[in-house]
Each structure stands twice: as C-alpha cells, then as structure tokens.
Structure 1
C-alpha cells in the first residue's frame, strides 16, 4: 500500500463519493445531500485543497482531503483536514492512520504551524486522531427545534 495525491479523474470521483458518505462520516448529523456537499467541498478544492489516496493493487482503499485552512481567525499558516474515509473492507488495517500520518508529515515539512480537523461526537476515528497527537480545542453545541 502506498499514499499519493489523487489525479484529476480520481479527484472528481472522490468528490462525488465524499458527498455520498457524509451521513456515515458525520455519525448521522449530516445527510447525504450532494448539492450541499458539493457546495462545501468544491470551494475548498478551488482554493487548493486536494485528495491523498491510499492505493493497493490499483484499488483506492481510502482517502483524505486536505488543504490550507481558509479561516482567517486561525492565521495563514494552518492546514486543514476536510475529510478522511476508508472503505469498510479496509478499516482496522491502518489505512486511516497512514493517510493521516502522511498528510501531517507533509504539512510539517511545508512549514505549517498547525493542522486542524473537525470530528463528530461518537466517531471512532477520534481515538486515532488523539493517538497521532490531535487534541480538543473547541466544542460545537446544537439545539434542534
């Protein structure tokens, strides 16, 4: 297995796949709404975000979407991990950890001061993020009507 940047055709396919797994990735907090999903991810890609893919025998096992953090409050030297997804047959094999470790190391080498991500409550990937070195800095709370 190796990690590389996705090519253009893969990026287009991953973009559409990403919006179809939003409900699973968000622990049910978001719906698989392609229009809303594309509205969130296309601007990030247009601003320089990209996908890393984990590949084995020409098959994509999972992906990570990353780029420069565009939130001006965080400063100009922060990276952001928009999405991490590993296809179910390849989970618990270290694919997600390899994708995360690769992205973090690239951002470190490129001189970023920090890298951030959002994770929904109940997402089992949070334990992996913490083992890599991420920690909580805020909590989003919600009240539904």
Structure 2
C-alpha cells in the first residue's frame, strides 16, 4: 500500500465518491449532491487543505483530507482531519489507521502540535480514533422538537 497525494484523475475519483463519504460519515443523516459535496470541499482545498490517498497498484482504497482550523474561543490554530474514507471493499484491513497515522505525521511536519477531528456519535470509527490517542474535546448535543 502506498499513501501519497492524488494526481488529477484520482482527485476526480475522490470528488465523485465524496457524496458517499459524507453520507457514511454522517451515518446517513446528510445526503449531499455532487454539487453540495464540491461546495464543502473546494474552499478547504483553496485554503491549503489537501488529500492523501491510499492506493495499491491502480486501485484507490481510501483517503484522508487534512488541513488547518482555528479554535473560535482560544484563537489557537491546529491541524484538522476533515474527512477519512475507505471504500467498502477495502474496510477492515487497517487502511484507515495508516491514513490517520500518515495524516498526523504530515500535520506534525506542517508545524502543528495538536490534531483534532469531528465525528458523529455512534460512528464505529470512534474506537479507532481513541486507540490512536484522540480524546473527547467538545461534545455537540441536539434535541428534536
């Protein structure tokens, strides 16, 4: 397995799969169109965020989108994992773990001393994040009315 930045055709493949990644990441709550997914991702890329992809041969297996964010209360700038996705046929093989470790290493090299991410409650990836050392920082609560 190789983890690296995508070329143009791989980037197009990621964009075509982005709605599925967002659907899975929100546990089915968000069902974005291709256009909506593009509207969410493009501003991040324009501000310096970037993808790292996991491939084997010509097969795209998954990706991570990493960049920067600013804490609205403390004004602290930190590294952020915006998206992590592994195609269904490649899940359970440790690819997500490798993508996160590589993403963290890139963010460290980019000068960040902290990495954060957001995840929907109930997402099975929470266990993976915790095994890698992530701790609960903030909790968003909701109530249907």
**TM-score if structure 1 supplies the norm length?**
0.89
Deviation at 1:40, TM superposition (A): 1.6
Provide closer, same or farther for how the CA distance between residues 76 and 11 of structure 1 changes in structure 2, counting only shifts above 3 A. Answer: farther
Alignment-derived partner of residue 24 in structure 1 = 24
Provide closer, same or farther for how the CA distance between residues 91 and 129 of structure 1 changes in structure 2, counting only shifts above 3 A. Answer: same
Deviation at 1:73, TM superposition (A): 4.1
Provide closer, same or farther for how the CA distance between residues 74 and 29 of structure 1 changes in structure 2, counting only shifts above 3 A. Answer: farther
Gaps of 5+ in 1: none
Q: What number of residue pairs does the alignment pair up?
A: 145
**Equivalent-residue separation in structure 2 for 1:22 and 1:68 (angstroms):** 19
Alignment-derived partner of residue 5 in structure 1 = 5
Alignment-derived partner of residue 131 in structure 1 = 131
**Equivalent-residue separation in structure 2 for 1:67 and 1:117 (angstroms):** 11
Contact 1:77/1:113 (8 A) holds in 2: no
**Equivalent-residue separation in structure 2 for 1:8 and 1:144 (angstroms):** 42
Q: Secondary structure at the match of 2:43?
A: helix
Q: Which moved more, 1:17-26 or 1:129-138?
A: 17-26
Q: Which moved more, 1:48-57 or 1:70-79?
A: 70-79
1:140 aligns with 2:140: yes
Provide closer, same or farther for how the CA distance between residues 74 and 127 of structure 1 changes in structure 2, counting only shifts above 3 A. Answer: farther
Q: Secondary structure at the match of 1:121?
A: coil
List per-residue Cα deviations over 1:46-85 (Å, max 9, x = no partner): 1111110001012111101111115554645311111101
Alignment-derived partner of residue 60 in structure 1 = 60
**TM-score if structure 2 supplies the norm length?**
0.89
Q: Secondary structure at the match of 1:29?
A: coil
Q: Secondary structure at the match of 1:133?
A: coil
Q: Secondary structure at the match of 1:6?
A: coil
Give the root-mean-square deviation of aligned CA atoms.
Answer: 1.8
